[in-house]
A and B are shown apart, each in its own frame.
Chain A
Amino acid sequence: MSAWTHHLIIAPILVPLIASALLLFFDERKRLQKAMISLASTIILLAIAIILFGIESSPNGFDGVYLLGNWAAPFGIVLVVDGLSALMLLLAALLGLATLVFSLAHWHAVGAHYHSMFQLLLVGLNGAFLTGDLFNLFVFFEVMLAASYGLLLHGSGPLRVKAGMHYIAVNLVAAFFFLIGVSLIYGTTGTLNMADLAARIPQIEPDRRMLMEAGAGVLGVAFLIKAGMWPLCFWLPTAYNAAAAPVAGIFAILSKLGIYVILRLTMLLFADGPSAGFGSEVLLFGGIATLVFGTIGVLASQALGRLAGYSVLVSSGTMLMVLGISEGTISSGALLYLVSSTFTIGALFMLIELVERGQDAGANVLTVTMEAYGDGEGQQVEEEEGVMMPGTMAILGTCFAACAILLSGLPPLSGFISKFAMLSAMMGTGAIGTPPDAAVWTLIVLVILSGVAALIAMTRIGIRTFWSSLEGTVPRVLVIELVPVMFLLALTMVLTIQAGPAMRYMDTTIRTLSQPSIYIDAVRNAARVEGWRKPAEAGTGEP
């Protein structure tokens, strides 16, 4: 990496942070300026993510360690870009751009400081993807959570306040678990740097090892709450359902953040040594329970919002099972599934709001009443601004069908490709000639069943919404609202067409991840920038 691209590593944190600070100087009435700043920041973020992704996918290897404040690795905090974090950064930027554009139609105006909180959420997400330090991860996690509390309450109303209160309480307790886990790990290993930790864990003595594993387990609980593993997931469908549509769309990546951290830490810390494969049974059985619970929830959902919430659980459960089953060598298909399901669920949450705008009988009655009594005029005028989408119902129906195909994993979209890649890799595990073991069969059966359930539920709701609608009203949908949904669905199409290069990238990423020594050596040997300080002073760089 050349000099200026090296500094791009910190840009995904700085750009939205500066934007969110800048946004606070503008009055809420200057909506256009705020929207433009927020949009510009997200577009810059996308450009940076694409550049970083391009550097990581080029074959010249791993050189993405950024020493904050020029402190040597185990003492200072490091930011690390590797294949996985570059992929997650790109995913966050794409989803962020789509949800932001969607919210510009009218959601960003229903409450204060939407854009600042949105940018802070991106700060937290990007920081959590980039950091190579366990406590710094906590800080970025909290930044992200604090922003998400505000975003969940955006638009207010009793339902959101109630769901938000549960969400905040659950996540505050999760933060305590995080702190207990981090401090136990620090107390037993004496370091918080992930690379240093990975090098020290195989060597710690048995009496401390038990305490360290307890710490790792407690830490894992915090991320499993975020990812929504079964007994810890009851808050999730309610909270995601209550959130405003673009907020729920960006929340689709928050549960993937939990999965990302679990993936990163298990592959880095528990790759070999006496603790190898630590916690994989929990992930496997937890994943099974989550998948079953999510599938039942999808089938039982009457409202589309809850269906999407349970779909988040289904995708979390699938990922957790794959993480648990493969003991450190997860298939690259699972990564493709992570990307594909994030786009799908993000698109679905936004689509739901558009579809239900015209279909909800109760809301229609309310609108009629409000028109009759002359109320709600402001709302009407606002919605008529902008360009209306031609052929709305046809496009909405097509997008809905695409979501159903993606969720159930049918060809031709990327839901099929990713599930196929994942399952075929699972079938091939173990020695040649021996059939896959019971856990693999369970996974295959459950993944296919969850796909069938999603298909049944989506078809049922689709028929009710699009074919047997009594009112026959066409929802007012603006171009700016439908384009982000189509953009996300088009991305899944790109994933299908470019499945070869995508799979190669995922393969390389997984291969790099399964050799923790690459990560450890890169962080430990990261060169400090010399020349701006005298060597004599630079020598005192240890605390």
Chain B
Amino acid sequence: MELVLSIAIGVMTSCGVWLILRPRTYQVIVGLSLLSYAVNLFIFGVGGVKSNVPPILEDGIDPSTLSDPVPQALVLTAIVIGFATTALFLVVLLASRGLTGNDHVDGRNDPK
């Protein structure tokens, strides 16, 4: 489980980093989305990877068998903020496309 999760985070991060270094704005935004997924999974992972355990404390239950609710709350906030900023970036991307007539990150119009 841990191995699968860490490989998934690693693959998404490396794809994301490669994509944000590309010259087209669309690639950059896909890269940023991939990075945000990787980061969200990472936050989820630091609470300890457990399946089928609720984050609810009841009397007589050992706290170490429960999953940690704080990273889940953090990841929820991170998702919302990441979503909003990505949407904003999309608007800027469209504005740049409209103003320069191409989707290069520097607004240059060479074929590469």
Contact = CB atoms under 8 A, between A and B. Distances in A.
A142 interface: yes
Contact of A139 (B36, B81, B85): B81
Contact of A186 (B70, B84, B88, B93): B70
Interface centre among A138, A142, A156, A161 (most CB of B within 10 A): A161
Contacts of A162: 96, 100, 106-107
Interface in A132-186: 135, 138-139, 142, 145-146, 149-150, 153, 156-158, 161-162, 164-166, 168-169, 172-173, 175-176, 179-180, 182-184, 186
A183 B74 contact: yes
SS class, residues of chain A in contact with chain B: helix
Interface string B72-105: 0010011001101110110011011001100001
Contacts of B106: 162
A412 interface: no
B106 to A, nearest CB: 7
Nearest to B16: A176
A483 B110 CA distance: 46
A158 B107 contact: yes
B12 to A, nearest CB: 12
Contacts of B82: 175
B93 to A, nearest CB: 7
Interface footprint category on A: 20 to 34
Contact of A168 (B35, B46, B78, B89): B89
A78 interface: no
A138 B106 CA distance: 29
Interface string B39-71: 100110011000000000100000000000111
Contacts of A179: 39, 42-43, 74, 78
A187 interface: yes
Contacts of A180: 39, 42
Contacts of B99: 157-158, 161
Nearest to A167: B92
Given A169-B28, A182-B74, A186-B71, A161 B92 contact: yes
A180 B43 CA distance: 7
Interface residues of B, number: 34
B85 A142 contact: yes
Nearest to B43: A183
A92 interface: no
Interface string A229-243: 000000000000000
B85 A175 contact: yes
A541 to B, nearest CB: 14
A187 B95 contact: no
A173 B42 contact: no
Contacts of A169: 20, 28, 32, 89, 105
A192 interface: yes
Contacts of B57: 543
Contacts of B74: 135, 179, 182-183, 186
A223 B50 CA distance: 32
Nearest to A143: B81
A169 B96 CA distance: 13
Nearest to B77: A139
Nearest to B57: A543
Interface centre among B36, B74, B84, B92 (most CB of A within 10 A): B92
Given A158-B99, A161-B99, A176 B46 contact: no
11 contacts: A150-B88, A153-B92, A157-B99, A158-B100, A162-B100, A165-B93, A165-B96, A168-B89, A173-B35, A543-B57, A543-B69
* Nearest 6 interchain pairs by C-beta: A187-B46, A183-B43, A183-B46, A158-B99, A176-B39, A142-B81
